[in-house]
Amino acid sequence: MSPEDFLKEVQAIGEKFLHKLQKLPKADPVEIASFSVVLLFIATVLVLTIIACSCCCYSCCGCDGRPDPSHKRSRVRPSTD
């Protein structure tokens, strides 16, 4: 997929989303609830992704951004039997 196609697809999704938001005040309660559930799901995924990435970065690097020497990987050597 070329970057132009990707941008067109994102723009089309954005326009559909905007159109859906504009129709939302006149929508049925069921449609409002389902739309809210979808938005809640998207927000939850984004928040959990941010938390996972920040925890991963925090465990690899300290607060100052430098790698923590206690988390170095050790090399496994073959036994000399």
The pTM score is 0.53
pLDDT of the chain, 81 residues: tens digit per residue: 788 899 999 999 989 988 888 888 888 899 889 989 998 999 999 999 998 888 776 666 555 555 555 555 667 777 776
* C-alpha dihedral (42, 43, 45, 48), degrees to nearest 10: 180
- CB-side exposure of 27: number of CA atoms within 13 Å? 15
Q: Are 55 and 62 in contact (CB under 8 A)?
A: no
Contact 53, 60 (CB under 8 A): no
